[in-house]
Chains A and B, each alone.
Chain A
Amino acid sequence: DTEVTQTPKHLVMGMTNKKSLKCEQHMGHRAMYWYKQKAKKPPELMFVYSYEKLSINESVPSRFSPECPNSSLLNLHLHALQPEDSALYLCASSQGTGGPDTQYFGPGTRLTVL
């Protein structure tokens, strides 16, 4: 089973709202990732969690706040977003060996900021 699930599938929010994106995997993977993808562009890495600790933060604005409650779950808390933050937000997971792992992606959350 190589399934990563994400909720919600679609989200529309205003610039003053607070919302959260959720990601879950039950493959025993110890590395989890958040990516942002704009149309016709490759995914851009935002955050990496390794063994539930934040290991990479790619200079993402503080209006995006990741959280890893346990090894299976990854959240992305959103607050005071801008219209340019509208994108497909992808979660991925990998074994987290520290070596060449394959990343498996969830279906994504299509976010629209009004």
Chain B
Amino acid sequence: GQNIDQPTEMTATEGAIVQINCTYQTSGFNGLFWYQQHAGEAPTFLSYNVLDGLEEKGRFSSFLSRSKGYSYLLLKELQMKDSASYLCAVLDSNYQLIWGAGTKLIIKP
């Protein structure tokens, strides 16, 4: 079967760093996406990884290890507006997105 696991909820402090992990088991792999979703709003694209390693984009970085079926999203210099759900999604062998349940990130002052 297809399975994507990420923590349900995480709490961090403004200005700090947080790492959100995602592990996956899917039928085929054509890349992994991270999306941010504020409550009641649409998901917005953050990153796409298909090769092993770290992709950095401003305060956000995403890492992938295909051999371990593992990714993480790293958020630095946290701001209150980063409070949102972060969704990990894998593109399977049919190029369909398989979604994780999302991690709700709470930022405290």
A contacts, CB < 8 Å to B? 2, 40-43, 45, 56, 88, 90, 98-108, 110
Contacts and interface: CB of A to CB of B under 8 A. Distances in A.
Contacts of A98: 95
B97 to A, nearest CB: 7
Contacts of B60: none
Size class of the B contact interface (CB-based, 8 Å): 20 to 34
Given A42-B87, A42-B102, A103 B42 contact: no
A45 B33 contact: no
B20 to A, nearest CB: 14
B27 interface: no
10 contacts: A40-B104, A41-B101, A41-B102, A45-B96, A90-B43, A99-B95, A100-B48, A101-B95, A106-B42, A107-B41
B99 A42 contact: yes
B1 interface: no
Contacts of A90: 42-43
A42 B101 contact: yes
- Which of B41, B44, B89, B97 lies at the interface centre, i.e. has the most chain A CB atoms within 10 A of its CB? B97
Interface string B75-109: 00000000000010101000111011110100000
Nearest to A106: B42
Contacts of A41: 101-102
B95 A100 contact: yes
Contact of B96 (A56, A104, A108): A56
A102 B45 contact: yes
A43 B30 contact: no
B58 interface: no
Contacts of B35: 105
A99 B30 contact: yes
B7 interface: no
Contacts of B100: 42
Given A45-B97, A102-B33, A102-B48, 15 more contacts: A2-B45, A40-B104, A42-B89, A45-B96, A56-B96, A88-B40, A100-B48, A103-B97, A105-B35, A105-B42, A105-B43, A105-B44, A106-B42, A107-B41, A110-B40
